[in-house]
Structure 1
């Protein structure tokens, strides 16, 4: 009789041990999954928070580019002429996102002449944007404040460029340091040989 009780107690103890281990493994899997999601959100938030300057921050929930031609940290030469001293300057890639960039025309909210073919604002910086890319001629409101008088202005899409967009730190050819310049597309960049 004592033997039967001892076997029952051992069996019950084993059963409780296995059940507890199973719950712990399942809880560990759930905890790992929750940590992974939190880490991804934290990485996106840190990337956006790290890229704040006088022109605002990066829109939240942008998808970080997986295989850009110029990964973060790459040294690049700039062929775009968005501002004085940009063309021919060298810089470093700070961030790369997958989205659609638009060339737009708009009349500044501060008055003055229409700005034609401003490059670039991204999909997430246009109020009322749906689908990507949007067709030329589409009118939307700008949420970005890259330059004075831009935010809140009505814009007309001129062209779209699907693919990675880059944020670059660079020094202009006239010696001015520019941090977190938004946005450049791949066709405007080339690798710098070291």
Structure 2
């Protein structure tokens, strides 16, 4: 179920935590990024305002206090269309960066399949390895999509690349089956 999000209202988390141990600072950053937060500056991030993210932000607020930190969790609304556009741009830019990285890995997958064809390497072991790589790509794209709150432009290109990778693996698998079982 996809939650509806207003495009002019967000949660803003402003925090300060002790610099040591740094592992707590890194864990907090990862947790916030894992929710899809965009950082406006150090210690200031924004999230779409949804029921789920409000709950998660409240849990994070408690954790920051438990670390001996300071935190403000605010409801932020864009003052005008320009402000709204800048915030939405930050969210879509971050997702597009992730989609670009994903597409790069799809290109690498395509090159790997081409290499196997050029070497005539059609084994079950190689097929299993390529299948595992494709599954990683599928899970990765699901994770990006889950954080793509505002439909970043590269979403459809990333989906097309995944479809292409799936088709490439299907073609490779067919060839492996033909080579391994020449007389079906």
User: TM-score, with normalisation over the residues of structure 1?
Assistant: 0.25
**Greater helix percent: which structure?**
2
Q: Which has the higher contact order (CA 8 A, sep 6+)?
A: 2
User: TM-score, with normalisation over the residues of structure 2?
Assistant: 0.27
**Greater strand percent: which structure?**
1
Rg (Cα) greater in structure: 1
